[in-house]
Amino acid sequence: MAERVGFIGLGIMGRGMAANLLRAGFSLTVWNRTPERAESLGAAGAVVAANPAELAAASDIVITCVSDTPDVEAVILGSHGVIHGIRPGSLVIDMSTISPQATRAMAAALAERGVDMLDAPISGGSEGAAQGTLSIMVGGEAPVLQRAMPVLQAMGKRITHVGPHGAGQTVKLVNQVLVVGNCLAMCEALLLAQAGGVDLARTLEAVSGGAAGSWMLSQRGPQILARDWRPGFTVALQQKDLRLVLEAADQQGVPLPGTALIFQLYRTLEAKGLGGDGNHALVKALEALAGFEIEGTQPTV
């Protein structure tokens, strides 16, 4: 019999992921801090729990997908948290992006109750969440991942076991370094193209398929040309993840000069109230510096 799943955190990513679990036939209980966000899933067949403890009591596998380290700690360890409802033999899968250290501490706290844990942060943007094509980086024990696999496969297409507790989070930070680095490259490239007077849509078409290609360029390049700032992943969340990256790099003695520059650029977007834009709005920081803008056009392709 399929395991009963509980899903905590119905934000920009979680909504799509939970919907995919329903679609895959899982019996689903959901909870969100802002209850309104749970309504559409309730209408689609999910049970809406009153709090994380109640959700945990009704689930074999509890998934958390919230914003930051303190949020995960609150829904798992806080009052009415998962830990107060969960039964031994259950499994918690945290799909948020948080500190590797905090992850290891929570895994230990849950283990004392006989509960397994995986850190399983994700990549792929809101599109990947909606389409069930996320990349999932998993830290924890192999047999536990085996158990989680059917659930994870309903949400992602590339599920990789990268090591023990915390390793998933470390790889997610690595992922974010790549995301923002590819993003800065895209923004600088488009500014140069704009100033050079070439057609931007043709430029994207010409360079996306070769050695310059990236997911970022293919997915977000056309959005920039259309000046469409709807988020796959918001500036505010990107900045939050970069804080985790730079903290880890500082602890481990790794110089990340490019990432440090990018952090400073994103910082100005938050200060200007653009934290809710998609992370490709990084281009607006460069535009402010340059004194000109990418011209909004519909891409040809």
* Contact status, residue 78 vs residue 54, Cβ threshold 8 Å: no
Judged by DSSP in three states, 156 sits in: strand
Decide: is 207 part of the binding site for its own copies (CB under 8 A): yes
CA neighbor of 282 nearest in space, from 204, 200, 183:
183
b/e map of 140-171 (b: 16 or more CB within 10 Å)? bbeebbebbeebbebbbeebebbeebbbbbbb
Show the site string, 133-162: x = touches its own copies by CB under 8 A, - = not. -xx-x-------------------xx-xxx
Pick 88 or 255: Cβ nearer its own copies = 255
Instruction: Quote the least distance from Cβ 14 to its own copies, whole Å.
Output: 17
Instruction: Quote the least distance from Cβ 91 to its own copies, whole Å.
Output: 20
Q: Which residues, 177 to 196, sit near its own copies by CB under 8 A? A: 177-182, 184-186, 188-193, 195-196
Question: What whole-number distance in Å separates Cα of residue 245 and Cα of residue 170?
Answer: 9
Q: Could you tell me which residues come within 8 angstroms of residue 1 by beta carbon, excluding any fewer than 6 positions away?
A: none
Decide: is 288 part of the binding site for its own copies (CB under 8 A): yes
Instruction: Quote the least distance from Cβ 144 to its own copies, whole Å.
Output: 17
Instruction: Quote the least distance from Cβ 94 to its own copies, whole Å.
Output: 16
Question: What whole-number distance in Å separates Cα of residue 178 and Cα of residue 67?
Answer: 20
Paired strand residues for 183:
none
Binds its own copies by CB under 8 A, chosen from 176, 224, 277, 294: 176
Pick 30 or 95: Cβ nearer its own copies = 95
Instruction: Quote the least distance from Cβ 84 to its own copies, whole Å.
Output: 32
Decide: is 291 part of the binding site for its own copies (CB under 8 A): yes
Q: Which residues, 236 to 275, sit near its own copies by CB under 8 A? A: 243, 245, 248-250, 252-265, 267-268, 270-272
Pick 28 or 216: Cβ nearer its own copies = 216
Q: Which residues, 74 to 113, sit near its own copies by CB under 8 A? A: 100
Pick 88 or 197: Cβ nearer its own copies = 197
Query: Which backbone phi and psi does 226 adopt, to 5 degrees?
Result: -90, 5
Is 240 a catalytic site residue?
A: no
Judged by DSSP in three states, 160 sits in: strand
* Contact status, residue 137 vs residue 160, Cβ threshold 8 Å: yes
Judged by DSSP in three states, 239 sits in: helix
* Contact status, residue 117 vs residue 61, Cβ threshold 8 Å: no
Binding footprint of its own copies, residue count (CB under 8 A): 89
Identity at 106, one-letter amino acid code = M
Q: Which residues, 8 to 37, sit near its own copies by CB under 8 A? A: none
Show the site string, 119-138: x = touches its own copies by CB under 8 A, - = not. ----xxx--x-----xx-x-
Active site residues: 172
